[in-house]
Structure 1
Amino acid sequence: MKILRHLLFPVVPIYFMVTWLRNKLYDLGIKKAMNYDFPVICVGNLSAGGTGKTPMIEYLVKLLKADYKVATLSRGYKRKTTGFQLANASATVETIGDEPFQFYNKFKDAIEVAVDSDRQNGIAELQALSKKLDVILLDDAFQHRKVQAGFNIMLTTYSNPFFSDIVLPTGDLREPRSGAKRAHCIVVTKCPLDINNSEKEAIIKRINPLKSQSVFFSSIVYSETLFSEAESITFEAIKPFTLVTGIANATPLVQFLKGKQLNFEHLNYKDHHEFSEQDIVELSKKSLIVTTEKDFMRMKDYTVLRDKLYYLPIEVKIDDKPKFEALIKAFTKR
């Protein structure tokens, strides 16, 4: 795969020019974007996947749900439905996608969860609900220029920052680095917990933010408890297990578990992997399975796995939490 991506390097300038021109047409107002008179917050990135959008959306939900009527709007990647879908008691991964299904399972009593590949239509449908909404959180919509969010949070990872990358197909960027200028704040995600100030300053220098942009650093914090549908267990009580992942980058999780000196094998599938019947048959032979919360949503309804399947929750820790949350709350109060 890496060899193929390098062989496709001649395509990079073409991809660069097409995406740059598209953005320029929006910047000049030639292509029209929809503005809104209520708070719309976009969480996105320049890179293709794996920057931590899902935990950031959950962070914002927890921050805002007590004071506002909040909705999340996602594309619903790999769902089997089309058009606008509002999550309800009959929702599944197949109808709304794995990440929205995760949002619904965690916050169904507090927020609305919807999917629509057309974000303009999705926002219109949400605003037409009898329950009037105060804030809409757009999941992975940074390149969806038809919608102009009032506040853009752009994520980039510590291990593969956008300023060291190039556009697809050889690199991972969906658009040129200059797209970062649209962000109101930039969050460097998946940082080591012990990242020091000098390293932060060096990264900020490479980002070269606009005066109006704030830069934050966040880390993944893993739970010390694993959960199944029926119970929870601690790492101290866990037996040898199989780690099953279908996410963009499982390295931080693997390193965390190895740091715990745990005994496990790792089955690493591609991001958003759709588990086949054969996959489930093979997994059912395992004595104990640990997975991510997102993968758990795709696997939990298989009866043969129910008694052996556990997930490890994660949270986002932001280095300057008061400043970050003050920015978000100042925007939502407008």
Structure 2
Amino acid sequence: MKFLRYLLFPFSVLYGCIMSVRNFLYNANILKSKSYPIPIICVGNLSTGGTGKSPMIELLMRTLKDKHQLATLSRGYKRTTDGFLEVQPHHNSSEVGDEPLQFKTNFPEITVAVDANRQRGISELLKNYPKLDLILLDDAFQHRKVKPSLSILLTTYSDLYTNDFILPTGNLREFQTGAKRAQLIIVTKCPTTLSKVEQIRIRQQIKPKSYQHLLFSSILYSDFIISKTEREKLADFNDFTLVTGIANPKPLLSHLKSLNKNFDHIQFSDHHEFSKSDLELLQKKPKVLTTQKDFMRLKSKLKTNQLFYLPIETQILNHPEFLRKYLEDELF
């Protein structure tokens, strides 16, 4: 597979040049980016996925929801509906996408919407909720039609964008120079024991600009697992099947193994649409543990009370109070 990717190197250069021309046209104001009367925070990455955008959006929600009326806007990846749609608790993942449904489940008081056309989506939110004072754009770093007030770029500790190359040889959506559009760069999925020396090494590798702030974050796993009807201690849950349909399940696997859990792992691709045969296979498993994103897609399809998910949160390791203060100072 790696050899095939190297053979596709000329296509990577061509794709990268196309993206560079596009970015140049936006930077030169030949192609127009639209600004809005309220702050817009864009969360995204340079790579194709697995950097922890959903937990980061939820961290921003927790950080800002008490002082601000905010909304989130996603494209609703793989949904069967079209146009603008406000996510409601009764929706299923096929109608709105798994991640937006997860946002609404975890934060029912916050307005969550989907629209592949970000300009239209923002306009609809402002029309429907005139008191909004903040919108979070999920996975929108390459969507240049909207001019964000603040861009947050995510890159994973185990796969920094500085070590990668553009598609299809690598996993980057654009050249590394695109990182200069971000005001915040957050290295995600770091070990909780990340040392100051390691932070300095990564800083030297990323080389943030003078206007950029570099933060480090890790995943905090819950001590409890949740089903449609129950809440159990993870410590008491053993001999199960782990089902993942996310881009990078390695941190979850490492966490469960560190707890000496006995489990089998069935791995699917990111945002996997579970087929009839998939569901028949999982239906035979006495106990299934999955991620919340996968739970959003499985909960209405599997007829079992033994389907659980493990909640997670993102936590900032260095300067934990910096994010809240920075956002308030820069945006409001």
TM-score tier after normalising by the smaller chain length: over 0.9
Distance in 1 of aligned mates of 2:81 and 2:4: 32
Determine the structure 1 residue equivalent to 2:15: 15
Render the CA deviation track for 1:51-84: whole Å, top value 9, x for unaligned.
Answer: 0000000001111111111100001000001111
Q: Distance in 1 between matches of 2:296 and 2:66?
A: 25
Tell me the CA shift for residue 114 of structure 1. Answer: 0.5
CA contact (8 A) 1:223 1:313 kept: yes
Contact conserved, 1:38 with 1:134, CA < 8 A, in 2? yes
Q: Which secondary structure does the structure 2 equivalent of 1:166 belong to?
A: coil
- CA change 1:89–1:203 in 2 (3 A) is closer
**Partners in 2 of 1:310 and 1:231 — Cα distance?**
9
TM-score (norm 2): 0.97
Secondary structure of the residue aligned to 1:243 is strand
Q: Which residue of 2 aligns with 1:268?
A: 267
**Secondary structure of the residue that 1:71 maps to in structure 2?**
strand
Work out whether residues 185 and 215 of structure 1, in 8 Å CA contact, stay in contact via their aligned partners in 2.
yes
Mapped to 2, the partners of 1:285 and 1:236 lie a distance apart of 23
Letter in 2 for 1:39: P
Report the Cα offset of residue 117 of structure 1.
0.7
* Equivalent residues in 2 for 1:168-187, closer than 5 Å: 168-187=167-186
Amino acid at match of 1:247: I
Question: Equivalents in 1 of 2:152, 2:288: separation in Å?
Answer: 34
State how far apart, in whole Å, the 2-side matches of 1:8 and 1:118 are.
Answer: 31
Please give the alpha-carbon distance, in whole angstroms, between the structure 2 residues aligned to 1:316 and 1:121: 30
The equivalent of 1:100 in structure 2 is 100
**d(CA) in 1 for partners of 2:112 and 2:129?**
15
TM-score with structure 1 setting the length: 0.97
- For the aligned residue pairs, the C-alpha RMSD in angstroms reads 1.1
2:40 aligned partner: 40
SS at match of 2:303: helix
SS at match of 1:304: coil
- Aligned pair in 2 of structure 1 residues 221, 300: CA closer, same or farther (>3 Å)? same
2:207 alignment partner in structure 1: 208
How far 1:7 moved relative to its partner? Answer: 2.2
2 CA distance for matches of 1:114 and 1:211?
34
- Name the SS for the 1:11 alignment partner: helix
- Residue 55 of structure 2 is matched in structure 1 by 55
Matching residue of 1:29:
29
Select between 51-60 and 6-15 the one with higher mean Cα deviation.
6-15
- Tell me if structure 2 keeps the 8 A contact 1:39–1:331: no
What amino acid maps onto 2:119 in structure 1? Q
Q: Provide the rounded CA distance (Å) in 1 between the counterparts of 2:252 and 2:218.
A: 12
| Amino acid in the other structure paired with 2:87 | A
Partner of residue 316 from structure 2, selected from 312, 315, 318? 318
| Further displaced range: 60-69 or 139-148 | 60-69
2:300 corresponds to which letter in structure 1? D
After superposition, the C-alpha distances for 1:82-135 in whole angstroms (9 at most, x for unaligned) are 111111243221111000010011112x21100111111110010010453111
Count of residues in Structure 1 that have an aligned counterpart in Structure 2: 331
Matched, 1:66 2:66: yes
CA contact (8 A) 2:149 2:331 kept: no
Equivalent in the alignment of 1:300: 299
Q: Do the aligned residues in 1 keep the contact of 2:64 with 2:324 (CA within 8 Å)?
A: no
Structure-2 separation of matches of 1:288 and 1:90: 25
1:78-117 counterparts in 2 under 5 A? 78-108=78-108, 110-117=109-116
Secondary structure at 2:73's aligned position in 1? strand
Q: What's the offset of the Cα at 1:303?
A: 4.7
Structure 1 window deviating more from structure 2 (320-329 vs 151-160): it is 320-329
Moved over 6 A (4+): none
Could you tell me which amino acid in structure 2 is paired with residue 6 of structure 1? Y
Kept after mapping to 2: 8 A contact 1:42/1:149: yes
Deviates more, 1:291-300 or 1:313-322: 313-322
Alpha-carbon distance in 2 for matches of 1:10, 1:196: 39
Q: For each residue in 1:278-329, what CA deviation from the matched residue of structure 2 results, as whole angstroms up to 9, or x when unmatched?
A: 1111101001000001000000112523x11000011111021111221112
Give % identity.
48
Task: Specify the SS of the correspondent of 1:239.
Answer: coil
SS in 1 for 2:179: helix
Matches of 1:12 and 1:154, distance apart in 2: 22
Task: Measure, in 2, the Cα distance between the counterparts of 1:275 and 1:303.
Answer: 10
Counterpart residue identity of residue 139, structure 1 = D
Cα offset, 1:240, TM superposition? 0.4
